[in-house]
Amino acid sequence: MELTNINTKAGIFGGTLLSMVFNISLDDILFTVVMASIGASVSYVVSKFLNFIFRYFKK
């Protein structure tokens, strides 16, 4: 009984994953990569800027 449950879960997961992979276009992936890069860059710059401001006013 337990083996059937595992096979069912694996089948559902595999089917869902494959249907998602075939429905995602290259444009969506590139857009996600670009937006993630922009978000990471902005986060880094803002954290460095705030660190500089806090150190400046701490003196």
24-55 confidence digits (pLDDT tens): 888 998 999 999 999 999 999 999 999 999 99
CA separation for the pair 28, 22 (Å, rounded): 12
Comparing 3-7, 8-12, 20-24, which segment has the lowest mean pLDDT? 3-7
* The predicted structure's pLDDT at residue 25: 86
Does residue 34 fall inside a structural domain?
yes
Q: 17-31: per-residue pLDDT in tens?
A: 888 888 888 899 899
d(CA 16, CA 6): 15
pTM value is 0.61
Domain count along the chain: 1
Statement: residue 1 has pLDDT above 60: no
Sign of the C-alpha dihedral computed for residues 5, 7, 10 and 16 taken in this order:
negative
| Residue 35 within a domain | yes
Range of the domain at 29: 25-59
* Residue 37, domain member (yes or no): yes
Q: What are phi and psi of 25, to 5 degrees?
A: -90, 165
Residue 1 inside a domain? The answer is no
